Amino acid sequence: MKESIQNVRVENSFANLPPSFYTRLSPQPLTEPRLLHANPEVAALLDLSPAALAKPDFLDVVAGNQPLPGGQTLAAVYSGHQFGIWAGQLGDGRAHLLGEVVSPSGRWELQLKGSGRTPYSRMGDGRAVLRSSVREYLASEAMAGLGIATTRALALVVSNDPVYRETVETAAIVTRVSPSFVRFGSFEHWSSSPENLGALLDYVVDRHYPECRDAVDGAPATQARVALRFLRAVTVRTARLLADWQTAGFCHGVMNTDNMSILGLTLDYGPYGFMDAFQVDHVCNHSDSQGRYAWNAQPSVANWNLYRLASALLGLGVEADALKEQLQEFEPAFLQAYRNNLCRKLGLLAWTDGDDDLLDDWWRLLHTQKADFTLSFRSLAQAPLDSAQFFQRFHDRDAAGAWLDRYVQRLAQEQRPDPERIEQMNRSNPLYVLRNHLAEGAIRAAAQGDVGEIDTLLKLLRDPYTEQPGHEAYAAVPPEWAGRLEVSCSS
């Protein structure tokens, strides 16, 4: 591993696109920046040793004081639909792409979030606050621990610089890591420019979807065929991502097309939330007054967003009916991943007739009882043998017992050994998730310069399925005050 960030291999593939795709500019440094936390697991992806994270040149790069050695710093332009309404040109309003690190594990773009104004900031100040930065830093690693596709977080830098939101807060910068930060909105931006749209398609396909160029009957695939295959692949990845979100009780909060990754990654952690008390129409974003991005609406919103991506590809002369045909892959891909996930969470070997009814009644039970999402699923492993923990989750014991009887009967059909089933279920139903009140505790400690809660949460969230003695409070029903926490688009 490299002992200094000066020694990593850097390329600039996005910077090789036409100049209209971005603006080259430097970040706006923070005053007296401090490295609050660095992530050795993500550093290892970049072939950086833990020792490299403690050196001054690392802080210089992740604070925006110096460019990534060999990198070409830029802010990308894109457009998008926000809350279902066309917003026109958007772009990296508070983010700077530093370059692309090439390591044995792959190619990783490094992006600073909160690093100052760009030509795409509109009325924004280009900054991120400590509160939202800690939440993103922890959330991306929590999702990785759950095995859900996501961007990652390398470093968290703080400063005493004031940032004005609902109140005066302090500034921070998160270094985000991803194979690509291209979004659905990147394609929407160029929908009326066939030349640039084609260049973007070539760039993304060549780097991330090369199989879309496979020959057909010995002949090279046409641009139209590549576009169709690309849309199909993105549709399937997005469907699988949404199945993972739904079965983890995760709500993104702002599923605008400019927040949808072209690689099917969880991107842009703002007002997200892991559900505590289950409500099928739970809205985690206080700014979402219409409930557009409620938990039960997320799959349909993702499908709607894919239609917006398909509409952008019309600019390449692809037939509308052919594009619609690719989009039909969303529902079967989602259902297959959704049912596979739930088979593991429920301890079933295979989905059979009648399981949809059993699951619907499970969601109904959780909803009417406002039962804790994570702990209710976790309690199912032992419920057929010892139902005490299970019944603790519900105030209507009769309703819970009636459903449990049906569940036990369903398990009996497979005659699966209990130890085998329990092991699978406990590796599929996490004990620890990043609940809002846990993130809030880490934020309050970090504001005092204490990273102990960040360290503890990262330890638990990297292996959320294994019980850690002495950390019972992190796997408990949230305290009463947690219900008063609100996250919004300013988060």
Q: List the pLDDT tens digit at each of the 491 positions of the chain.
A: 999 999 999 999 999 999 999 999 999 999 999 999 999 999 999 999 999 999 999 999 999 999 999 999 999 999 999 999 999 999 999 999 999 999 999 999 999 999 999 999 999 999 999 999 999 999 999 999 999 999 999 999 999 999 999 899 999 999 999 999 999 999 999 999 999 999 999 999 999 999 999 987 787 889 999 999 999 999 999 999 999 999 999 999 999 999 999 999 999 999 999 999 999 999 999 999 999 999 999 999 999 999 999 999 999 999 999 999 999 999 999 999 999 999 999 999 999 999 999 999 999 999 999 999 999 999 999 999 999 999 999 999 999 999 999 999 999 999 999 999 999 999 999 999 999 999 999 999 999 999 999 999 999 999 999 999 999 999 999 999 988 888 987 65
Choosing from 180, 214, 231, the residue where a domain stops is 180
Tell me whether residue 491 is in a domain: no
User: In terms of domains, do 218 and 266 share one?
Assistant: yes
User: In terms of domains, do 41 and 130 share one?
Assistant: yes
**CA gap 209, 230 in Å, rounded:** 7
Tell me whether residue 281 is in a domain: yes
The residue segments making up the domain with residue 223 are 185-338
What one-character DSSP code corresponds to residue 221? P
User: pTM value?
Assistant: 0.97
Backbone phi and psi for residue 60, each to the nearest 5 degrees, phi listed first:
-55, -40
User: In terms of domains, do 219 and 71 share one?
Assistant: no
How many domains does the chain contain in total? 4
What one-character DSSP code corresponds to residue 477? P
User: In terms of domains, do 140 and 10 share one?
Assistant: yes
User: In terms of domains, do 292 and 376 share one?
Assistant: no
Q: How far is CA 79 from CA 20, 86, 187, 239, 359, in A?
A: 13, 8, 8, 22, 38
Write out the two tokens for 317.
């002369």
- Which helix (H) or strand (E) element contains residue 56? helix 56-62
User: In terms of domains, do 368 and 236 share one?
Assistant: no
Write out the two tokens for 310.
């398909």
Buried b (16+ CB within 10 A) or exposed e, 354-392: ebeebbeebeebbbebebbbbbbbbbbbbbbeebeebee
Write out the two tokens for 238.
């997005």
User: In terms of domains, do 31 and 100 share one?
Assistant: yes
- State the amino acid at position 345 in one-letter form: K
Tell me whether residue 391 is in a domain: yes
Contact 74, 26 (CB under 8 A): no
User: In terms of domains, do 257 and 174 share one?
Assistant: no
User: In terms of domains, do 220 and 252 share one?
Assistant: yes
**CA gap 61, 53 in Å, rounded:** 11
CA neighbor of 95 nearest in space, from 136, 59, 58, 57: 136
User: In terms of domains, do 160 and 195 share one?
Assistant: no
**CA gap 377, 362 in Å, rounded:** 10
What one-character DSSP code corresponds to residue 48? B
Tell me whether residue 431 is in a domain: no
Catalytic residues: 258
Number of Cβ within 10 Å of residue 279's Cβ equals 16
Write out the two tokens for 117.
């104004």
- State the amino acid at position 400 in one-letter form: A
Choosing from 311, 338, 365, the residue where a domain stops is 338
Inter-axis angle of helices 223-248 and 194-208, nearest 10: 60
Tell me whether residue 213 is in a domain: yes
What's the pLDDT score for residue 485? 87
Tell me whether residue 343 is in a domain: no
- Which helix (H) or strand (E) element contains residue 250? strand 250-251
Tell me whether residue 456 is in a domain: yes
Q: How far is CA 436 from the centre of its chain?
A: 16
User: In terms of domains, do 305 and 194 share one?
Assistant: yes
Q: Specify the residue for token string 């706006």.
A: 28
Tell me whether residue 490 is in a domain: no
Backbone phi and psi for residue 117, each to the nearest 5 degrees, phi listed first:
-70, 150
The helix/strand/coil state of 396 is coil
**CA gap 477, 376 in Å, rounded:** 10
Choosing from 285, 309, 338, the residue where a domain stops is 338
DSSP per residue, 162-186:
EEESSSEEEEEEEEEEES---BHHH
User: In terms of domains, do 402 and 471 share one?
Assistant: no
- State the amino acid at position 82 in one-letter form: Q
The helix/strand/coil state of 433 is coil
